[in-house]
């Protein structure tokens, strides 16, 4: 669903977007957000959220990113064109210089007022299924 459809209290929705084009499918195994800069104080995720998914079963939901099981990744749909700009995911409603409408994103819903100071992301190590730069939005 669109980002703004996930109506929650201020400071309770956090998402990550690739800051660069992903040419294949974005494959995310685990996502952790922490309240401290040392990544030692996890922010409890009430649910995981994402724009689109590819596959069947557990991997079609963003909850695969917070299940503590590296064997169950969340996988975005594949880009429709070699340039990656035709990604078939749902529009996030916001376009900027660093991402286009339809960019895959994944995130978590937390208790209102949560603060995130550190993010750990376990993603594919293949160049066309990962990103080297992320945008964190609240």
Q: Give the mean model confidence (pLDDT) for residues 131-135.
A: 90
Please count the residues of the chain. 138
What pLDDT digit, counting tens, does each position of 35-90 carry? 999 999 999 888 888 876 666 554 567 888 999 999 989 988 776 655 555 444 44
Concatenate the DSSP letters of all residues of the chain into one string. Answer: --GGGS---TT-EEEEEESS--SS--EEEEEEEESSTTS-SBPPPSEEEES---SSGGGGSGGGGGSS-TTS-EEPPPPSSTTSTT--S---S---SS--TT---EEEE-STT----EEEEEE-SSGGG--S-EEEE-
**Calpha distance 49→1 (Å, rounded):** 9
**Confidence at residue 81, expressed as pLDDT on a 0 to 100 scale:** 59
What pLDDT digit, counting tens, does each position of 8-35 carry? 566 678 889 888 878 888 899 999 999 9
**Calpha distance 20→100 (Å, rounded):** 10
């Amino acid at each position: 669903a669109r980002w703004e459809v996930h109506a929650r209290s201020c400071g309770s929705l956090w998402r990550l977007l690739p800051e660069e084009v992903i040419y294949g499918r974005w494959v995310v195994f685990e996502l952790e957000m922490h309240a401290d800069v040392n990544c030692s104080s996890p922010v409890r995720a009430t649910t995981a959220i994402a724009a689109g998914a590819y596959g069947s079963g557990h991997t079609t939901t963003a909850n695969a990113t917070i299940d503590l099981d590296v064997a169950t990744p969340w996988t975005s749909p594949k880009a429709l064109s070699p340039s990656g700009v035709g990604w078939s995911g749902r529009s996030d409603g916001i376009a900027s210089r660093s991402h286009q409408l339809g960019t895959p994103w994944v995130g978590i819903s937390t208790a209102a007022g949560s603060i995130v100071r550190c993010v750990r992301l376990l993603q594919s190590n293949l160049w066309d299924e990962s990103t080297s730069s992320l945008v964190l939005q609240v």
